[in-house]
Amino acid sequence: MNHTCWTLARERSTVQGCSEPPEVAAEREQIRLALALGQLVYDRRTSLGLSQSALGERLGMTADAVDALELAGMLPVTAGLLARLAGALDVTVDLHVVADGGSTVAFGERAA
């Protein structure tokens, strides 16, 4: 079986002239950003040698909440959450929002 010709349903519907509703596209973008943020949090936490419990203490949340955050289970991603993460992980948070999707989130080194 040749899998190279497989396409996602949303790709097929776009080619066929259908498009997903704006609220679905917005939810998809929010989930994509939450996944990217979760990976950033995990990478930074482990590079600092922090446990989920230790990071939770810094953030004022439980280890289970930190786990949910790392697994992209904490929606929506809010400005308040990003600010708390910046302080707890000693980073800057760069969020670039693009109206038609493709928004990005990144951590940077905090200036001394």
Which among 8, 3, 75 has a CA at the least distance from the CA of 36?
75
Domains in the chain, number: 1
Answer yes or no: is pLDDT of 90 > 80: yes
pLDDT-based confidence at 98, cuts 50/70/90? confident
Instruction: Find the range with the poorest average confidence among 14-23, 33-42, 57-66, 94-103.
Output: 14-23
Chain-wide mean pLDDT for the chain?
86
77 within domain boundaries? yes
5 within domain boundaries? no
Q: How far is CA 18 from CA 8, 9, 86, 101, 103, in A?
A: 13, 11, 40, 18, 23
11 within domain boundaries? no
Q: Which two tokens stand for residue 51?
A: 């446990």
pLDDT-based confidence at 7, cuts 50/70/90? low
